[in-house]
A and B are shown apart, each in its own frame.
Chain A
Amino acid sequence: MAYIELKNIRKEYMMGDIKIKALDGVSFSIEKGELVVVLGPSGAGKTTVLNILGGMDKADGGTINVDGNNITKYNRKKLITYRRYDIGFVFQFYNLVQNLTALENVELASQICKNPLNPEKVLKQVGLEKRMDNFPAQLSGGEQQRVAIARAIAKNPKLLLCDEPTGALDSKTGTKILELLQNTCKTMGMTVVIITHNSVMADIADKVIKIKNGTVSDIIINKNPVDAKEINW
């Protein structure tokens, strides 16, 4: 059995009187230590998949198994615990707490975990050893995203979920972030899922899952993923 397995995930939203099927039977699996890119156009349902996978939303049908646990059966509290210990999130807009320094933002996450990584080390790892005591507003977008990644990694999660991590960044900075994520996956053996509409990124993935209109249209196993440094968009 795969490390993570999604089976026939369905999700519907009510938009006024109209029922919209966001996900209509999504199934795929992720192995431990894999770098997966979920690719699809806007509105395809990829964020919904991520949200459900990250325990932020509940599926209307189907099952998700993470490391042997069926999280679709989790109640609210168990879902929080799942987010707390097993998931690390990285968002497009970083979502740092403005009132905490870089280090503190990382510590904010690590302090609630069972086996957190040393926040300072993690920050050093993402290359921010000199910016640790700065507040988010004092950092550039890339630096802020690094802090966000450091915050996610420091939790030592089973799964790192990144929702358009480069969406708000220029290509140069974006590359650096991807590089960081790839390194994290490689060096730490962490399972990383990146959501993007940018197909260029697919090259760095071990597995590419293409989503279209709420269903998986294609799954591509990339035997030789490209180094993030080398991609160009």
Chain B
Amino acid sequence: MKLILKQSIKKVKGSLGRFFSLFFIVLLGVGFFAGIKSARYDMYLTGDKYYDDYKLMDIKITSTLGLTNDDIKEVSKIDSIEEVIGTYSIDAFLDKEVIRVHALNKKVNLPWIKEGRMPQSDDECLAEEGKYKIGYEINLSLDNIEDSLKNTSYKVVGLIRSPMYIGLEKGITNIGSGKLESYIYINESNFKLEAYTELYLKVKNATSLISYEDEYERKINQVTNELSKIKPVMETRRYEEIQEQVNNEIEKVETELKIEREKGIRELTSAKEKLDESKSKLETAKKRLATSQKELENNKISGLEKINNAKKELETGKANYQQKLTEYNNTKETTEKFINDTKLYLEQQKLELENNKDNMPLEEYNQKLEILNKQEEELKKKEQQFLNAPIELENTKKLLAETETKINTEEKTYYSEIEKANNKIEEAKQEIITGEASLEAGYKDYEAANTSFENKIQEAYDKIEAQKQELEKMPKPKWYVLDRTDNPGYTDFKNDALRVDAIASVFPVFFLLVAALVCLNTMTRMVEEERGEIGIYKALGYNNFKIISSYLIYVLVATLFGSVIGLLIGYNVLPRVIFGVYSFTYYLPNIIIYIDPLMFTLITLVAILLILSVTVFSCYNELKEQPASLLRPKPPKKGKKIFLENIKWIWRHISFTGKVTIRNLFRYKKRIFMTIIGIAGCTALTLTGFGLRDGISSIVKLQYGKIFKYTGLLVLNEEINTIDDEFKTILEKEKITDKLLVRQELFSFKTSDKKHDFYLMVPQTNKIDKFIDLRNRTTTEQYELNDDGVIITEKMAQLLGIKKGENIKIRNSDNSLFIVKVNEIVENYAYHYMYMSNNYYEKIFGTKPNYNIILFNSNNENKDQQATNLIDSGKVLNVNFTYNNIKTFDTMVSSLNKIVLVILGASCLLAFVVLYNLTTINITERIREIATIKVLGFYDKEVSSYIYKETVTLTIIGIFVGLFLGVFLHAFVMKTAEMDFIMFSKNIKFISYVLSFGITLFFSALVLLVTHFKLKKIDMIESLKSVE
């Protein structure tokens, strides 16, 4: 055994080149296989660790009307849910862009801080890395934003990434242009909302599972299914809660309004009363004025009359006085004489009476006396009167004078008083006029106040009414139960990983195959070379096993080291390279390399086993022979005439090297086969790589240019029957001329193993060629919708395995089953669609379709503004431009391009190793021949070309075979790499053929260059010495 070991070591030393070529081919084959194969899992793992570390939610529930603690309680009841976290987010404008504002929560969706720190106060925030800078002031704006947020201005204190946004795209929003541009995190205490905007759910034991893996997805699906069970209950509950709440509020407002109204009415009434009062006062004043005026008039007349009367009386008085004076003067003597006479008379009488007293009864006396006395008294009076008369006259005169003065003053007073009264009246008149004016103004004010009050009240009532109606119309809240796949980029990442895996499932196998073939060739060659040695051992009596052992040890060492180092390199490098490619498309932490020890061992064992059996196989051929024959050199392969030589006129025109080449091609069949396989393999791999890129990149142009011709798609706010005039004006204003109403509905169909979603499209008209080209892929025949069946897309037909004319089963979102007839199958590359006419829709579903999207063509350049305007109009929920889809696909394509590059690189490396290996074998096998022609005096170039002619011929044959095989390999890889909802174009561009041809040729040339120097170095003397 020791001897065998020694022998092996010597073998390695003696043929380092071969040993290393074996080592490298194993390294390459195994490393590439394992590396590519592990990329998907490493990508998953990296994503998963990120999600776990930053506590990404498993499930998210949002509701159109917010969520409450009751919801949390109810959801928490589900067994498999570990935790339910209610929190907030809001979409707002930052300048013209829309960003999402998230509440920081320590339990879920943690930000990955790349720079800076966490917010310490409510006016600080974390913002997306690469988009903002620390210190930047973020000013949010939105209608009524102050109802939702305490602050609207935040200072950026930390730059972050979030596990919720791993892709370049941040998703959609229903404000602004509809596109979410970035996100920030702020303290939860900033939110003033009464209900949570979303619930984040952590599922029990989900962290221990790998996100993206089936097991994880199954687990989450279970929970979402359970959630969808309680969904309607919670929706109704929330509905009722809000109804009640709003009703109460309305009632409260109503009552308040009532009170306010009454108060208002009271106030107005009192104002009116006051006005009326002033009015009546004014009226009285007016009346009074009139009376005073009349009175004044009367007074004027009566006063004047009085004065005049007084004057007249005075005159009369004066005349009387004059008369009396005259009378007096005239009667003075007579009166005086009369008085005196009477006096005497009476005195005589008295005396007589006295004298006669006794003569007469007393009574008579008394009587007569009394009479006399009376008469005396009367006389006395008269006398007095007479005596008084001048005094009286004087008095009268005085009186008259007094009276005159009095009259005069009275007259004066009269006039002044008249004037005074007049003034007063004038004043009063003026007062009345101003009073009237202000009253009028007062009334006017009152009227105005009244109307506005009434309006206000009416408005308030209307508002309440509207609120009531709205409440009545209020749709039930809708719960959305979303899992991680809703996060932008999350699913794309998985798809990218899957694509790598799909490619990986074919390429490395091919790679391994080529490697195995090369090993077989190398070992066969080695054993052949050492037949003499084998013969000696055999002659000496060693058994077959012992003889083989030294070879086995040789390859074991080469393979073991090759495999282990290859695996280590492959596991570490390839996923990194692939991940590096995607690092431009995804924001993720560094890749986690996972080396599966089981896989590691298994691959190594398989590689060793494979190579060992190849070696045993090679040795077996030699060991069969007798030792004697083994000791003799293997007779060189006989030269043989070939068919072509019989056609002398061709043969004669072929140069020597040509003839040698041609003969050799037919002579060393195995080597030729190997070379062709090797080169063909590399070419096929290269072509497949290029074809893959073609297939994916061309579908973008086909899908969003040739098939979907529309500029964009409007998602309508509500379903409509026709485009009304108002909407038409809006659309025309945005330069949307061509438009097509379509009902789009998500349906599904089942294949044996899976459920696939597809879009049912029911356009308003049957002719839609301005928007969508319904055509056959091969015949390019165009179809129109008709009323007895549907048109479905190619991939869908493929998955269903049906031809046109057959019936298929489809299910709507409520899982109701419908059967439709397929009329035609049309070209399509992304997603599945079913086109259906209005009438057929009615036939199948029993109702006329309501339309929910509009396909449109527009030459409006400013698409962002157009989108913003359309969304602002309130009619449109979102605008989806075709060019955006192209962009998304382009990112995918460019990533894939890079993966293809990795594959191309590996293929080229393989091509190089294979070619180098084969050429080396070719040279060692023909070393005597080469030495001979060198001795004959062939120049270096001639020697090389002598060998090259063969290699070049083989290479070119190999390339053509490779191109041919590549078409099939490409088709196969396409089929494997294709996802359910995407159909790749099967065409390989001509340039790809050229490139594959060129690249392989280039590597062949490189090998030839190396060979040239190798040939130059061949030592003629050593090579020709003798046969050992």
Which of B641, B928, B933, B1027 meets A108, CB within 8 Å?
B933
Whole-angstrom distance between the Cβ of A139 and the nearest chain B Cβ: 11
Residues of A within 8 A of B936 (CB): 83-84, 89, 108-109, 112, 151, 155
Residues of A within 8 A of B659 (CB): 100, 104
Residues of B within 8 A of A104 (CB): 656, 659
Q: How long is the Cα–Cα vector from A225 to B599 in the complex, in angstroms?
A: 79
Which of B637, B939, B1021 meets A57, CB within 8 Å?
B1021
B659 and chain A: residue at smallest CB distance: A104
B663: CB under 8 A from chain A?
yes
Whether the Cβ atoms of A135 and B638 lie closer than 8 Å is yes
User: Contacts A80-B938, A83-B935, A100-B663 hold; do A107 and B656 have CB atoms under 8 A apart?
Assistant: yes
B937 and chain A: residue at smallest CB distance: A84
A19: CB under 8 A from chain B?
no
Give the interface segment out of A59-67, A91-99, A187-195: A91-99
User: Contacts A97-B660, A100-B659, A135-B638 hold; do A77 and B933 have CB atoms under 8 A apart?
Assistant: no
Residues of A within 8 A of B660 (CB): 97, 99-100, 108
Whether the Cβ atoms of A135 and B640 lie closer than 8 Å is yes
A198: CB under 8 A from chain B?
no
Which of A54, A112, A133, A137 meets B938, CB within 8 Å?
A112
Residues of B within 8 A of A93 (CB): 1024, 1026-1027
Residues of A within 8 A of B931 (CB): 95
Whether the Cβ atoms of B1021 and A51 lie closer than 8 Å is yes
A101: CB under 8 A from chain B?
yes
Give per-residue flags for B905-930: 1 if the beta carbon is below 8 A from chain A beta carbons, else 0.
00000000000000000000000110
Q: How long is the Cα–Cα vector from A107 to B657 in the complex, in angstroms?
A: 11
Whether the Cβ atoms of A138 and B928 lie closer than 8 Å is no
Q: How long is the Cα–Cα vector from A81 to B940 in the complex, in angstroms?
A: 11
Q: How long is the Cα–Cα vector from A82 to B936 in the complex, in angstroms?
A: 10
Whether the Cβ atoms of A91 and B1024 lie closer than 8 Å is yes
B341: CB under 8 A from chain A?
no
Q: For residues 935 through 978 of chain B, which have their beta carbon under 8 Å from a beta carbon of chain A?
A: 935-940, 942
Give per-residue flags for A4-20: 1 if the beta carbon is below 8 A from chain B beta carbons, else 0.
00000000000000000
Whether the Cβ atoms of B638 and A77 lie closer than 8 Å is no
Whole-angstrom distance between the Cβ of B690 and the nearest chain A Cβ: 38
Q: For residues 13 through 51 of chain B, which have their beta carbon under 8 Å from a beta carbon of chain A?
A: none
B152: CB under 8 A from chain A?
no
User: Contacts A93-B1027, A108-B656, A112-B942 hold; do A101 and B639 have CB atoms under 8 A apart?
Assistant: yes
A2: CB under 8 A from chain B?
no
Whole-angstrom distance between the Cβ of B301 and the nearest chain A Cβ: 164
Give the A interface residue count (CB, 8 A): 36
Whole-angstrom distance between the Cβ of B632 and the nearest chain A Cβ: 13
Whether the Cβ atoms of A137 and B639 lie closer than 8 Å is yes
B657 and chain A: residue at smallest CB distance: A108
Whole-angstrom distance between the Cβ of A76 and the nearest chain B Cβ: 8
Which of A57, A112, A135 meets B639, CB within 8 Å?
A135
Residues of B within 8 A of A135 (CB): 638-640
A109 and chain B: residue at smallest CB distance: B936
Q: How long is the Cα–Cα vector from A107 to B933 in the complex, in angstroms?
A: 12
B: contact size bracket? 20 to 34
A214: CB under 8 A from chain B?
no
Q: How long is the Cα–Cα vector from A138 to B939 in the complex, in angstroms?
A: 30
A151 and chain B: residue at smallest CB distance: B936
B667: CB under 8 A from chain A?
yes
B485: CB under 8 A from chain A?
no
Residues of A within 8 A of B655 (CB): 111
Interface class of chain B by DSSP: helix
Whether the Cβ atoms of A56 and B1021 lie closer than 8 Å is yes
Residues of A within 8 A of B638 (CB): 98, 135, 137-138
B664: CB under 8 A from chain A?
yes
Whole-angstrom distance between the Cβ of A208 and the nearest chain B Cβ: 24
Whole-angstrom distance between the Cβ of A48 and the nearest chain B Cβ: 9
Q: How long is the Cα–Cα vector from A87 to B936 in the complex, in angstroms?
A: 8
Give per-residue flags for A103-118: 1 if the beta carbon is below 8 A from chain B beta carbons, else 0.
0100111011000000
Whether the Cβ atoms of B1020 and A56 lie closer than 8 Å is yes
Q: How long is the Cα–Cα vector from A107 to B641 in the complex, in angstroms?
A: 17
Residues of A within 8 A of B639 (CB): 98-101, 135-137
Give per-residue flags for B623-662: 1 if the beta carbon is below 8 A from chain A beta carbons, else 0.
0000000000001111111000000000000011001100
Q: How long is the Cα–Cα vector from A137 to B939 in the complex, in angstroms?
A: 27
Whole-angstrom distance between the Cβ of B10 and the nearest chain A Cβ: 16
Residues of A within 8 A of B636 (CB): 98, 136-137
Q: For residues 113 through 137 of chain A, which have their beta carbon under 8 Å from a beta carbon of chain B?
A: 133, 135-137
Residues of B within 8 A of A98 (CB): 636-639, 929
Q: How long is the Cα–Cα vector from A83 to B641 in the complex, in angstroms?
A: 30
Residues of B within 8 A of A89 (CB): 935-936
Whole-angstrom distance between the Cβ of B657 and the nearest chain A Cβ: 9
B932: CB under 8 A from chain A?
yes
Q: How long is the Cα–Cα vector from A104 to B642 in the complex, in angstroms?
A: 14
Quick one: which of B659, B667, B936 has the most chain A CB within 10 A?
Answer: B936
Q: How long is the Cα–Cα vector from A233 to B1026 in the complex, in angstroms?
A: 23
Residues of B within 8 A of A136 (CB): 636, 639
Q: How long is the Cα–Cα vector from A93 to B928 in the complex, in angstroms?
A: 10
Whole-angstrom distance between the Cβ of A231 and the nearest chain B Cβ: 24
Q: For residues 1006 through 1028 of chain B, which have their beta carbon under 8 Å from a beta carbon of chain A?
A: 1020-1021, 1024, 1026-1027
Residues of B within 8 A of A99 (CB): 639, 660, 663-664, 667
Residues of B within 8 A of A77 (CB): 939-940
Q: How long is the Cα–Cα vector from A96 to B935 in the complex, in angstroms?
A: 12
Q: How long is the Cα–Cα vector from A109 to B656 in the complex, in angstroms?
A: 10
Whether the Cβ atoms of A80 and B939 lie closer than 8 Å is yes
Whole-angstrom distance between the Cβ of B1020 and the nearest chain A Cβ: 5
Whether the Cβ atoms of A95 and B938 lie closer than 8 Å is no
Q: How long is the Cα–Cα vector from A147 to B929 in the complex, in angstroms?
A: 15
Which of A51, A81, A91, A138 meets B937, CB within 8 Å?
A81
Whether the Cβ atoms of B1026 and A95 lie closer than 8 Å is no
Q: How long is the Cα–Cα vector from A84 to B942 in the complex, in angstroms?
A: 12
Whole-angstrom distance between the Cβ of B485 and the nearest chain A Cβ: 65
Which of B641, B937, B942, B1024 meets A95, CB within 8 Å?
B1024
Q: How long is the Cα–Cα vector from A137 to B635 in the complex, in angstroms?
A: 8
Q: How long is the Cα–Cα vector from A142 to B113 in the complex, in angstroms?
A: 88
Q: For residues 130 through 185 of chain A, which have their beta carbon under 8 Å from a beta carbon of chain B?
A: 133, 135-138, 151, 155
Whether the Cβ atoms of B1026 and A92 lie closer than 8 Å is yes
Whole-angstrom distance between the Cβ of B637 and the nearest chain A Cβ: 7
Quick one: which of B659, B933, B937 has the most chain A CB within 10 A?
Answer: B937
Residues of A within 8 A of B933 (CB): 97, 108
A137 and chain B: residue at smallest CB distance: B638
Whole-angstrom distance between the Cβ of B664 and the nearest chain A Cβ: 6
Q: How long is the Cα–Cα vector from A51 to B655 in the complex, in angstroms?
A: 30
Whole-angstrom distance between the Cβ of A52 and the nearest chain B Cβ: 10
User: Contacts A104-B659, A137-B636 hold; do A95 and B1021 have CB atoms under 8 A apart?
Assistant: no
B636 and chain A: residue at smallest CB distance: A98
Residues of A within 8 A of B667 (CB): 99
Whether the Cβ atoms of B932 and A80 lie closer than 8 Å is no
Whether the Cβ atoms of A85 and B1026 lie closer than 8 Å is no
Whether the Cβ atoms of A80 and B937 lie closer than 8 Å is yes
Quick one: which of A51, A84, A99, A107 has the most chain B CB within 10 A?
Answer: A99
Q: How long is the Cα–Cα vector from A159 to B1027 in the complex, in angstroms?
A: 26
Residues of B within 8 A of A138 (CB): 638
Known A104-B659, A112-B936; 13 more pairs at CB < 8 Å? A77-B939, A81-B937, A83-B935, A84-B939, A93-B1027, A95-B935, A97-B660, A109-B936, A112-B937, A136-B636, A136-B639, A137-B635, A155-B937
Query: Nearest 7 pairs between A and B by C-beta?
Result: A84-B937, A135-B639, A83-B937, A137-B638, A95-B932, A98-B636, A99-B639
Interchain Cβ contacts under 8 Å between A and B, 28 examples: A80-B934, A80-B937, A80-B939, A81-B937, A82-B937, A83-B936, A84-B937, A84-B938, A91-B1024, A93-B1024, A93-B1027, A95-B928, A95-B931, A95-B1024, A97-B660, A98-B637, A98-B639, A98-B929, A99-B663, A99-B664, A99-B667, A100-B656, A100-B659, A101-B639, A111-B655, A111-B656, A137-B635, A137-B636
